[in-house]
């Protein structure tokens, strides 16, 4: 793992980043703003347990693209905490968070940031019910999510209740205000962990759709000349788009 960044409030943001897109950046910016995060750690995963057939781009390419995506963002940093293991064993989020906790200052707080799709699949993660008690969850939800839907996605045995003063609006981002809602998660032992929801970000970007668009539309020059929309160019940081094109990824 690279040198751990300074700061007391750090969020782990793991994922495939295959490729990293503007939706990832929007989620991280919103979390940084409303929860006063010192650092958001972008951690491309080495071996995704729920994708046994592997990822489309290599770890090295995904790491390079993620570096390019966050290069101009204050408070964003790369973490190798989820890098491929010498044994080629899968990377499990709980193990990664426990390791990161040992790097944090004693008075620091480690959060686990994720998007809506990741949260909806949380029940399938290894020892998922323990994760919120190691690092409180920050979830960027889809617009219109209701409390019942959130509860249904929780790992078995966990319950959710609104925290006092849960509806609040965070500092304004350019052109908008980002809202955060606070809840408490409880396990059967009675332990409580905070849970933060970022509702209504309206980030509907799919990495698989970006890969499909690149694969189906081979010639960028022809598309540009014809006036057809260039989806991948619109949804990716320019440096990432240029890297994909120069490396011939997702063809």
Q: State the DSSP H helix or E strand holding residue 211, giving kind and residue range, or none if neither.
A: helix 207-216
Average pLDDT of the chain, as a whole number: 84
Q: Is the peptide bond before 89 cis (omega within 30 degrees of 0)?
A: no
Q: What is the pLDDT of residue 212?
A: 79
Q: What angle do CA 196, 32, 240 make, to 5 degrees?
A: 115
Spatial contact of 148 and 154, defined as CB atoms under 8 Å apart: no
pLDDT(70) > 90: yes
Name the β-bridge partners of 112.
12, 137
* Sign of the torsion angle spanned by Cα atoms 149, 154, 158, 164: negative
Q: What is the pLDDT of residue 108?
A: 92
What integer is the mean pLDDT of 204-220? 70
- pTM (2 d.p.): 0.86
Q: Which domains does the chain possess?
A: 9-198 (3.40.50.620), 207-247 (no CATH)
What integer is the mean pLDDT of 195-202? 83
Q: Mind listing the pLDDT tens digit for each residue in 82-103?
A: 999 888 788 899 999 999 999 9
Q: What is the pLDDT of residue 222?
A: 41
Q: What is the pLDDT of residue 24?
A: 94
Spatial contact of 205 and 22, defined as CB atoms under 8 Å apart: yes
Q: What is the pLDDT of residue 165?
A: 64
Give the model's confidence band at 219: pLDDT under 50 very low, under 70 low, under 90 confident, else very high. Answer: very low
Q: What is the pLDDT of residue 51?
A: 67
Q: What is the pLDDT of residue 117?
A: 86
What integer is the mean pLDDT of 146-174? 75
Give the model's confidence band at 57: pLDDT under 50 very low, under 70 low, under 90 confident, else very high. Answer: very high
């Amino acid at each position: 793992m690279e040198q751990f960044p300074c700061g007391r409030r750090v969020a782990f943001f793991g994922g495939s980043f295959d490729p990293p897109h503007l939706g990832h950046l929007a989620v991280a910016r919103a979390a940084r703003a409303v929860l006063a995060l010192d650092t958001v750690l972008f951690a491309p995963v080495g071996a995704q347990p729920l994708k046994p057939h592997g990822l489309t781009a290599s770890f090295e390419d995904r790491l390079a693209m993620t570096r390019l995506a966050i290069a101009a963002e204050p408070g964003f940093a790369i973490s190798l905490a989820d890098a491929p293991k010498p044994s080629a064993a899968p990377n499990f989020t709980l193990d990664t968070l426990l390791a990161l906790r040992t790097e944090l200052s004693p008075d620091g707080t480690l959060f686990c940031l994720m998007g809506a799709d990741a949260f909806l699949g949380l029940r399938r993660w290894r020892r998922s019910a323990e994760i919120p008690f190691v690092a409180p969850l920050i979830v960027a939800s889809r617009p219109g999510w209701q409390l019942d839907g959130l509860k249904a996605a929780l790992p078995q045995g966990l319950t959710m209740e609104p925290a006092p003063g849960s509806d609040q609006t965070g500092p304004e981002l350019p052109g908008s205000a980002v809202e955060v809602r606070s809840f408490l998660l409880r396990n059967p032992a009675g332990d409580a962990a905070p849970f933060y929801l970022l509702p209504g970000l309206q980030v509907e970007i799919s990495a698989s759709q970006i890969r499909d668009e690149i694969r189906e539309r081979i010639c960028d020059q022809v598309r540009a000349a014809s006036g057809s929309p260039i989806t991948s160019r619109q949804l990716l940081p320019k440096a990432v788009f240029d890297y994909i094109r120069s490396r011939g990824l997702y063809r």
